[in-house]
Amino acid sequence: MGYFLEQAGNALSLGGIYALLAIGLAVVYSILGLINFAHGALMTLTGYILVFTASAGLPFAVGAPIAVVLVMVSAVLLERIAFRPVRGASGATMLLTSFAVAVLLQLGFQLFISTRPQVVPLPAMLTTTLDLGGFAIGVNRIISVIVAVVVLVALNQFLKRTILGLAMRAAAEDFDVTRLMGIRANRVIATAFAISGLLAAIASVLWIAQRSSVDPMMGLVPVLKAFIATTLGGLGSLQGAVLGGILLGVIEITLAAYLPQAALPYQGAITLGIVILVLVVRPQGLIGPRKEAVK
Amino acid sequence: MTAMLSIADLDVRYGAIQAVRGVSLDVAEGEIVAVLGANGAGKTTTLKAAVGLVPTARGEIRFAGKPITGRDTEDIVIAGMTLVPEGRRVFPSLTVTENLRLGAATRKNAAEIEQSRNEVLSLFPILAERGHQAAGTLSGGQQQQLAIARALMSAPKLLLLDEPSLGLAPQVVDDIFDLILRLKARGLTILLVEQDAVAALDIADRAYVMANGRVVMSGDAATLRASDEVAHAYLGAHPDQSLAEPA
Contacts of B98 in chain A (CB under 8 A): 166, 169
- Euclidean distance between CA atoms A132 and A6, whole angstroms: 10
B97 lies within 8 A of chain A by CB: no
Nearest CA in chain B to A169: B94
Contact A181 B150 (CB under 8 A): yes
Q: Does residue A220 surpass a pLDDT of 60? A: yes
CA distance B116 to chain A (A): 15
**Surface-to-core class of residue A119, CB atoms within 10 Å of its CB (0-12 exposed, 13-18 middle, 19+ buried):** exposed
- How far, in Å, are A104, A171, A236, B47, B154 from residue A183 at the CA level? 33, 9, 21, 19, 11
By Cβ distance, the residue of A173, A174, A179 closest to B74 is: A179
Cα atoms in the 13 Å half-sphere on the side-chain side of A259:
17
Q: Does residue B2 surpass a pLDDT of 80? A: no
- How far, in Å, are B7, B197, B224, B234 from residue B227 at the CA level? 25, 12, 5, 11
Is the Cβ–Cβ distance between A282 and A21 less than 8 Å? no
Nearest CA in chain B to A237: B93
- Euclidean distance between CA atoms A77 and B50, whole angstroms: 32
Test the A interface: residue of B71, B88, B102 with most A CBs within 10 Å: B102
Q: Does residue B37 surpass a pLDDT of 50? A: yes
Contact B103 A163 (CB under 8 A): no
Q: Does residue B101 surpass a pLDDT of 80? A: yes
By Cβ distance, the residue of B82, B92, B103 closest to A173 is: B92
CA distance B196 to chain A (A): 24
Alpha helix ranges (H) inside A33-90:
39-55, 60-78
pLDDT of residue A289: 55
B237 lies within 8 A of chain A by CB: no
B125 lies within 8 A of chain A by CB: no
Is the Cβ–Cβ distance between B203 and B174 less than 8 Å? no
Q: Which of these, B193, B227, B222, lies nearest to B210 by C-alpha position?
A: B193
Residues whose CB is less than 8 angstroms from the CB of residue B110 and which lie 6 or more positions away in sequence, other chains included: none
- Rounded to a whole number of angstroms, the CA Rg of chain B reads 18
Residues of A with CB under 8 A from a CB of B: 163, 166-167, 169-170, 173-174, 176-185, 290-291
Contact A179 B53 (CB under 8 A): yes
**Surface-to-core class of residue B70, CB atoms within 10 Å of its CB (0-12 exposed, 13-18 middle, 19+ buried):** exposed
- Euclidean distance between CA atoms A234 and A252, whole angstroms: 19
pLDDT of residue A291: 46
Test the A interface: residue of B73, B88, B143 with most A CBs within 10 Å: B73
Helix (H, G, I), strand (E, B) or coil at B72: coil
Contacts of B89 in chain A (CB under 8 A): 174, 177
- Euclidean distance between CA atoms B73 and B169, whole angstroms: 32
Rounded mean pLDDT of chain B?
A: 89
Strands of the B158-162 sheet, one edge to the other: B81-84, B158-162, B189-194, B32-36, B206-211, B214-220
By Cβ distance, the residue of B74, B93, B150 closest to A290 is: B93
Q: Which of these, A208, A280, A272, A286, lies nearest to A48 by C-alpha position?
A: A208
By Cβ distance, the residue of B53, B92, B103 closest to A181 is: B103
Q: Does residue B3 surpass a pLDDT of 80? A: yes
CB neighbours of residue A249 within 10 Å? 22
Q: Which of these, A145, A164, A286, lies nearest to A229 by C-alpha position?
A: A286
- Euclidean distance between CA atoms A101 and A75, whole angstroms: 11
Q: What is the ipTM of this complex?
A: 0.87
pLDDT of residue B146: 96
Q: Which of these, A43, A228, A242, lies nearest to A159 by C-alpha position?
A: A242
What one-character-per-residue DSSP string does A265-288 give?
GGHHHHHHHHHHHHHHH-TT-SS-
Residue length, chain B? Answer: 247
Is the Cβ–Cβ distance between A226 and A3 less than 8 Å? no
pLDDT of residue A126: 85
- How far, in Å, are A181, B86, B104, B116 from residue B111 at the CA level? 19, 31, 12, 9
Is the Cβ–Cβ distance between A37 and A94 less than 8 Å? no
Residues whose CB is less than 8 angstroms from the CB of residue B136 and which lie 6 or more positions away in sequence, other chains included: B90, B92, B93
Q: Does residue B235 surpass a pLDDT of 90? A: no
User: In percent, how much of chain A has pLDDT > 70?
Assistant: 97
Contacts of A185 in chain B (CB under 8 A): 74
**Surface-to-core class of residue A107, CB atoms within 10 Å of its CB (0-12 exposed, 13-18 middle, 19+ buried):** exposed
Contact A169 B93 (CB under 8 A): yes
- Name the residue type at position A3: Y
CB neighbours of residue A234 within 10 Å? 23
CA angle A225/A213/A38 to nearest 5° reads: 40
Nearest CA in chain B to A167: B102
Q: Which of these, A104, A84, A70, lies nearest to A34 by C-alpha position?
A: A84
- Euclidean distance between CA atoms A42 and A25, whole angstroms: 12
For residue B236, name the pLDDT band (cuts at 50, 70, 90): low
Is the Cβ–Cβ distance between B243 and B235 less than 8 Å? yes
* Maximum mean pLDDT: which of A141-145, B23-27, B173-177: B23-27
pLDDT of residue B240: 46
| More confident: A137 or A65 | A65
The two most distant CA atoms of chain B are separated, in Å, by: 55
Rounded mean pLDDT of chain A?
A: 91
Test the B interface: residue of A31, A177, A295 with most B CBs within 10 Å: A177
CA distance B167 to chain A (A): 20
- Euclidean distance between CA atoms B47 and A117, whole angstroms: 58
- Name the residue type at position A153: V
The helix/strand count (H/E) of chain A reads as 12, 4
User: Among A129-138, A255-264, B168-177, whose mean pLDDT is lowest?
Assistant: A129-138
Contact A174 B98 (CB under 8 A): no
What one-character-per-residue DSSP string does A112-139 give?
HT-SS-EE----HHHH-EEE-SS-EEEH
Residue B166 sits at φ, ψ, to 5 deg, of: -60, 125
